[in-house]
C-alpha cells in the first residue's frame, strides 16, 4: 500500500516554490506530486495546514557510540534526530575507539542497522587515532561506508599534515570537514575572550583562532593542482565568513568551500554563559553580538549555506563540573528546526524555502550525500527518495530538556519559547516519526555515497 500525503504545503527548497499539493509515495520512492498517479490502494494521511519538505539532514552529529554510551547511543541519538525532524544524520568519528579504520566503520554500521531510527552516514577520522602522525586510509574509509572524513574535535595544526590530508581527500574524491581552531590562540580557553570572560574570571579563547586556522588551510592547499571538496564546520565569527568569501572569489583549490553554522551561533551570544554556565560551553564558543549578527547575515546572503547542530551530548554529572572542568558541547537535534524557524522565518528575514534549503539540499550537496542506490538526498521530486519531513510551523512550545529523546540535557535553549516543530518524518518511505511522536521502526544501514 502506498502513502498519500494530502493537502499539505509543499516547499521545494531548490526552486523556492511553495504550493498546496498532494505527495504520493510507494516503497522508498516519490511516485507523484499533485494528482493521483494511478489507482490505489493508498493510506491517506491528512496534512492540511502542515508544511511538507525534503527530509532534513544534519551533517554534524556526535552519536557517541561505540564507547561513550553513557552520553548517547545510536538508538537514543536517532530518536532525538527524528523528533527534531531529521531523516538523515552524519555522525562524527570521535568515539572510543575512533572511526578511523574500515573495520571500525563496519562495526558501526552493524549497530546502525540494528538500532537507528533514521539514516546514519558515518564520517571517518582523517588521521589514525585522531593523531598528528599518520593519515587514515581515506579510500578504504569511503569504501567501507563513510560519507566524508574530518578532523573535528581534533583539529590539525601542522601545515604539512594539512597538505597531506587535502591531497588524500582530493585523490580519493572525498569531502573534508575541518574544525578551524589554532590551538596557539585558543589553548585553555573555555569561552570567548572578551570583557565578559574577564568579568567572570574565566580563561577565554581568542576569536582569531578560527580564522587563523582557515588561513593555515589556505597555505597548505597552495601546492594542490585542482579543487578540493572542503567544508568548514561550525563557523562562528565574522572574520571566518570574510576569509571564506575571499577564497571563493579566488582560483585556488579551496574556491568551492562550503560553510556550516549552528543555531546557537545565530541565536545566542557569549552572554548566555552568564545564565547557563557549562550548558552554554561549546567549541567554538559563543561569540559577541557583532559576530552573531555577521553569522545571521551570512545565512541570509548565502555565504553560509548549511545549518548543522553539532549535537554533542554529555551527562548531567559531566556538565555539573562547571565551566573550567565540564566538557565542551551542547545538544541540538531536538531544537534546531524550531530555532531556525523562530529566528529566521517567523522574524520575516528568510522564506521557508530558503531556511529549509540550509537543512536539506544544501547540506546534501556540500558533501555529495546519496542514498544506498545513488539517488540524491535532500530533494523531493518524482522518482526521488521518499525522505520527507512534515512541519507544523505554527506550533508554539517551550524547550523542556527533561522531555528530550536524547540521553543528554545540555542545552542553552532550556526554557526558550519557540515556534515551529516537526509533525512527522518519513525515511525511505516509512514513517519514523508521526504526530510529534518518534516511532520504534529502525532502518537498514545505507551504503556509501556514489563517487565520481
Q: Which three cell numbers stand for residue 141?
A: 574509509
pLDDT digits (tens, 9 = 90+) for 329-378: 999 999 999 999 999 999 999 999 999 999 999 999 999 999 999 999 99
Q: Which three cell numbers stand for residue 259?
A: 560553510
Whether residue 338 contacts residue 344, with contact meaning beta carbons closer than 8 Å, is answered with no
Whether residue 80 contacts residue 48, with contact meaning beta carbons closer than 8 Å, is answered with no
Residues with Cβ within 8 Å of residue 285, at least 6 apart in sequence: 189, 190, 191, 192, 205, 236, 270
Q: Is the pLDDT of residue 449 over 70?
A: no
Number of H helices, E strands in the chain: 15, 19
CATH code for the structural domain at 54-367 = 3.20.20.140
- Predicted confidence at residue 146, as pLDDT, reads 98
- Percent of the chain having pLDDT more than 70? 97
- CA quadruple 25, 27, 31, 36: dihedral sign: negative
Q: Please list, residue by residue across 36-71, b when 16 or more beta carbons sit within 10 angstroms of its beta carbon and e when fewer do.
A: ebeeeebeebebeebbbbbbbbbbbbbbbbbebbeb
User: What is the reported pTM?
Assistant: 0.96
Round the average pLDDT of the chain to a whole number and report it: 96
Q: Is the pLDDT of residue 273 over 90?
A: yes
Helix 238-249 vs helix 208-220: angle between axes, to the nearest 10 degrees? 20
As a whole number of Å, the end-to-end CA separation of the chain is 36
- E-strand ranges in 56-132 read 56-61, 86-91, 119-125
For residues 105-127, give the mean pLDDT.
98
Complete DSSP assignment for 147-169:
SEEE-TTS----HHHHHHHHHHH
Q: What is the DSSP-derived secondary structure letter of residue 447?
A: P
Taking residue 440's Cβ as centre, other Cβ atoms within 10 Å add up to 8
List the domain boundaries for the chain.
2-51+385-404+415-438, 54-367
For residues 379-395, give the mean pLDDT.
98
Q: Which three cell numbers stand for residue 322?
A: 562547571
- Predicted confidence at residue 440, as pLDDT, reads 73
Residue 219 has phi, psi (to 5 degrees) of -65, -40
Q: Looking at domain 2-51+385-404+415-438, does it have CATH number 2.40.30.10?
A: no
Domain 2-51+385-404+415-438 identical in fold to domain 54-367: no
Complete DSSP assignment for 213-240:
HHHHHHHHTTT-SS--EEEE-S---HHH
442 pLDDT tier (thresholds 50, 70, 90): low
- Predicted confidence at residue 441, as pLDDT, reads 59
* Catalytic choice (58, 310, 387, 392): 310
Q: Which residue pairs from 300-304 have beta carbons closer than 8 angstroms and sit at least 24 positions apart in sequence?
A: 300/344, 300/349, 300/350, 303/241, 303/244, 303/245, 303/259, 304/235, 304/241, 304/259, 304/260, 304/261, 304/358
Choice among 222-226, 238-242, 369-373, 380-384 with the minimum mean pLDDT? 222-226
pLDDT digits (tens, 9 = 90+) for 213-233: 999 999 999 989 899 999 999
Q: Is 310 a catalytic residue?
A: yes
Which candidate, 369, 360, 234, 250, places its Cα nearest to that of 304?
234
The helix (run of H) or strand (run of E) holding residue 393 is strand 388-398
For residues 418-422, give the mean pLDDT.
98
Question: CA 71 to CA 207: how far, in whole Å?
Answer: 29
Amino acid at each position: 500500500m502506498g502513502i498519500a500525503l494530502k493537502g499539505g504545503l509543499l516547499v521545494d527548497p531548490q526552486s523556492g516554490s511553495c504550493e498546496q499539493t498532494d505527495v504520493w509515495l510507494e516503497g522508498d520512492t516519490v511516485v507523484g506530486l499533485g494528482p493521483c498517479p494511478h489507482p490505489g490502494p493508498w493510506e491517506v494521511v491528512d496534512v492540511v495546514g502542515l508544511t511538507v519538505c525534503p527530509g532534513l539532514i544534519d551533517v554534524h552529529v556526535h552519536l557517541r557510540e561505540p564507547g561513550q554510551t553513557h552520553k548517547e547511543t545510536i538508538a537514543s541519538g536517532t530518536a532525538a534526530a527524528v523528533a527534531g525532524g531529521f531523516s538523515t544524520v552524519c555522525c562524527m568519528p570521535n568515539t572510543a575507539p575512533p572511526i578511523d579504520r574500515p573495520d571500525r566503520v563496519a562495526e558501526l554500521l552493524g549497530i546502525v542497522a540494528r538500532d537507528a531510527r533514521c539514516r546514519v552516514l558515518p564520517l571517518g577520522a582523517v588521521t589514525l587515532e585522531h593523531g598528528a602522525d599518520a593519515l587514515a586510509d581515506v579510500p578504504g574509509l569511503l569504501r567501507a561506508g563513510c560519507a566524508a572524513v574530518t578532523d573535528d574535535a581534533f583539529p590539525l595544526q601542522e601545515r604539512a599534515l594539512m597538505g597531506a590530508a587535502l591531497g588524500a581527500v582530493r585523490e580519493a574524491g572525498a569531502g573534508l570537514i575541518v574544525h578551524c581552531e589554532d590551538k596557539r590562540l585558543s589553548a585553555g580557553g573555555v569561552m570567548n575572550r572578551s570583557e565578559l570572560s574577564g568579568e567572570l574570571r574565566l580563561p577565554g579563547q581568542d576569536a582569531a583562532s578560527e580564522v587563523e586556522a582557515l588561513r593555515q588551510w589556505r597555505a597548505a592547499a597552495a601546492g594542490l593542482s585542482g579543487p578540493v571538496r572542503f567544508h568548514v564546520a561550525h563557523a562562528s565569527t565574522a572574520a571566518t565568513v570574510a576569509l571564506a568569501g575571499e577564497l571563493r572569489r579566488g582560483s585556488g583549490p579551496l574556491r568551492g568551500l562550503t560553510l556550516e553554522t549552528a543555531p546557537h551561533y545565530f541565536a545566542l551570544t557569549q552572554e548566555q554563559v552568564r545564565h547557563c554556565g557549562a550548558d552554554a560551553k561549546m567549541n567554538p564558543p559563543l561569540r559577541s553580538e557583532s559576530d552573531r549578527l555577521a553569522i545571521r547575515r551570512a545565512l541570509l546572503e548565502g555565504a553560509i549555506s548549511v545549518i548543522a547542530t553539532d549535537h554533542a551530548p554529555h551527562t548531567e554529572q559531566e556538565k555539573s563540573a562547571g565551566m573550567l572542568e565540564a566538557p565542551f558541547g551542547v545538544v541540538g537535534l531536538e531544537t534546531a528546526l524550531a530555532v531556525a524557524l523562530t529566528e529566521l522565518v517567523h522574524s520575516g528575514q528568510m522564506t521557508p524555502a530558503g531556511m529549509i534549503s540550509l537543512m536539506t539540499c544544501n547540506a546534501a550537496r556540500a558533501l555529495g550525500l546519496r542514498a544506498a542506490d545513488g539517488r540524491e538526498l535532500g530533494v523531493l521530486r518524482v522518482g526521488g527518495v521518499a525522505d520527507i519531513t512534515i512541519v507544523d510551523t505554527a506550533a508554539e512550545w517551550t524547550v523542556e530538556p527533561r522531555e528530550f529523546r536524547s540521553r543528554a540535557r545540555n542545552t542553552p535553549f532550556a526554557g526558550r519559547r519557540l515556534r515551529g516543530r516537526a509533525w512527522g518524518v518519513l525515511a525511505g518511505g516509512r514513517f519514523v516519526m508521526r504526530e510529534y511522536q518518534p516511532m520504534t521502526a529502525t532502518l537498514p544501514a545505507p551504503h556509501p555515497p556514489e563517487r565520481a
